[in-house]
Amino acid sequence: MSCTIIVGGFFGDEGKGKIVAHIAHHDRPTIISRGGVGPNAGHTVQVGDKEYGVRMVPSGFIYPDARLFIGTGVLVDPRVFAHEIDLLGVGDRTFVDHRCGIIEEEHIRRDKGSEHLAKTIGSTGSGCGPANSDRVLRTSRQAKDVPELQPYLIDVPLELNTAMDRGETVLLEGTQGFGISLYFGTYPFVTSKDTSASQIAADNGVGPTRIDDVVVVFKAFPTRVGEGPFSTEMARSVSDSMGIQEFGTVTHRQRRIGQWDGEMAHYSAMINGCTQAAITGIDRVDKACYGIREYSKLTPKAREFLAQAEEDIGHPITLISTGPEITQIIDIRDQS
């Protein structure tokens, strides 16, 4: 039995989707369950030439032998959920906790119409902030109140804990990143709830004593979408000259690019209870590393970067992404 949580260590967009997909294929979980906020987070998974961007279904969907859950703490937009079920063809193995809060059209209107949220904070406009506000006020609907969700309803904590009691492996998938946690991030430029590993466990009804590993995903060059402090941000001209241009999965806004932030990485690892780290984008540190699958073949420049990053994080780096495709990864767990 094992239970692993995978979360983002910077401001989101760290490449968690790819890391979840890889770990799923490697560790063969029976369940992959999503925590986090809701459809304001997009995860991208690339398999060969095909790219998937998902906002509700866990990004571990790419592993066909796992059931896919949406945890109790997550907000569900029934329209986005239905679209992804049809698009991915996973309706027979995807389930929603019956207590999930529901995003209504009214929440989206309030989100997009709020000058504070839309312009000052840089909200994605997906309705999550207003929906979480109504959830706290105890005025929102739950998944059990939505007729079209009836075929997918389940008790996620019961299923997860029962699976672990049977000795099965489960993955808990986080969303967003540590830097926009409501509690620990750059308030008020944050999302509408905590995003740390503790919250992802709570979102799924898994107690802290049942967590075996916390994988915190960091990006070699951190990025941020929307407003808010970003201490290592580069000028756009500098990141453009490096060939780094990215766009958000949900908003399609161009991401702000920064240099590695060792201080933030250390603090994030501490709060998240990191046991091992993943680094994505090492091919941007040195283009010669693109697609490499063995640690011994990394360049000295890349190894120097990883050594410093590991010192900053304070925990071993066990997964190194060398490109966007799911197989472009070094899994040191296999090579030790």
Question: What Å distances lie between residue 51 and 24, 62, 241, 276, 289, CA to CA?
Answer: 17, 11, 25, 27, 22
Rg (Cα) of the chain, in Å, rounded? 19
Question: What Å distances lie between residue 125 and 53, 117, 204, 302, CA to CA?
Answer: 17, 8, 25, 38
CA distance 328 to 336: 18
Can 25 be counted among the known catalytic residues?
Answer: no
Q: What is the distance of C-alpha 143 from the center of its chain?
A: 22
Backbone angles phi, psi at 2, to 5 degrees: -150, 150
3-state DSSP assignment of residue 119: helix
Strands (E), 27-85: 31-34, 43-47, 50-54, 67-70, 75-76
* Selected catalytic residue, list 22, 43, 107, 315: 43
Instruction: Judge contact between 230 and 256, C-beta under 8 A.
Output: yes
95-110 per-residue burial string, b: 16 or more CB within 10 A, e: under 16: bbbbbbbbbbeebbeb
Can 13 be counted among the known catalytic residues?
Answer: yes
Q: Does the N-terminal peptide bond of residue 188 adopt cis geometry, omega within 30 degrees of 0?
A: yes
Backbone angles phi, psi at 232, to 5 degrees: -105, 15
CA distance 331 to 113: 45
DSSP, res 228: S
13: left (phi over 0), alpha (psi -120 to 50) or beta: left
**The one-letter amino acid at 60:** G
Instruction: Judge contact between 195 and 62, C-beta under 8 A.
Output: no
Catalytic residue ranges: 13, 43
